[in-house]
Structure 1
Amino acid sequence: MPYKQISIDDAKEFIDAGGVTVADIRDAGAYQSGSIAGAVNIQQDTMDTFLADTDKTLPLIVCCYHGHSSQNAAEYFSEQGFGDVYSVDGGYEAWRQKY
């Protein structure tokens, strides 16, 4: 598997420590109504810019609604050259309920 699963607790520790990119792949409306602090909303029309402008040497944490779509996205980002990619178990819904 080219990416790793990460719990919301481990993701929070990682994010709080800094030096990580958080990609939120939910639709723009969901992202605007709440997201992980510092997360970048990635849509199909912003994908090329994200891939071109993002430091692929930094860890990348991918978040979706419930942790399912982020697995496919994490695999895709790994294939695009990101070296250290994580999919958040439970997605933003689990994050929102705890944090």
Structure 2
Amino acid sequence: MNFKRIRTGEAKALLDQGNLNIADIRDELSYEAGHIRGAVRVDNSNLQQFMQGCDKDAPLVVCCYHGNSSQGAAQFFASQGFSQVYSVDGGYEMWKLGFPELCERS
């Protein structure tokens, strides 16, 4: 299984449809400063819990800073049985420029 790289506009379309999971793999301070609405910060400490709580048939969008690290994480999730995995090109930095109204702070 593989993941698909998508642009921020495609990620927003998935968000608009609902029933998706968003994994933000950035560090805690970056996540708290701003993240995609509804995103869950995922790292090694909560990875298993996150995967157990997700519907593996629902879309999973993986977001990092600029869209590089998220590709490796997306490949990992795809290898764990998630059927629709997406990595956001440009990451959160691109997302906040295009959709500031869909960003939240912790």
TM-score range, shorter-chain basis? over 0.9
1:70-89 matches, within 5 Å, as 70-89=70-89
- Number of aligned residue pairs: 99
2:103 matched residue in structure 1: none
2:39 matched residue in structure 1: 39
> Residue by residue, what CA displacement relative to the aligned partner does 1:49-73 show, whole Å, maximum 9, x if unpaired?
1112211110100000000000000
1:7 matched residue in structure 2: 7
In structure 2, give the amino acid aligned to 1:5: R
Aligned equivalents of 1:83, 1:67: Cα separation in 2: 20
RMSD: 1.0
In structure 2, give the amino acid aligned to 1:41: R
Identity across matched positions, percent: 48
Relative to the length of structure 1, the TM-score reads: 0.96
> Residue by residue, what CA displacement relative to the aligned partner does 1:34-85 show, whole Å, maximum 9, x if unpaired?
0000001101101011112211110100000000000000000001110010
> Secondary structure of the equivalent of 1:44?
coil
1:55 matched residue in structure 2: 55
Task: Give the 4+ runs in structure 1 shifted more than 2 A.
Answer: none
Shift of 1:3: 0.4
Unmatched 5+ residue regions in structure 2? 100-106
2:26 matched residue in structure 1: 26
Shift of 1:19: 1.2
Unmatched 5+ residue regions in structure 1? none
In structure 2, give the amino acid aligned to 1:44: N
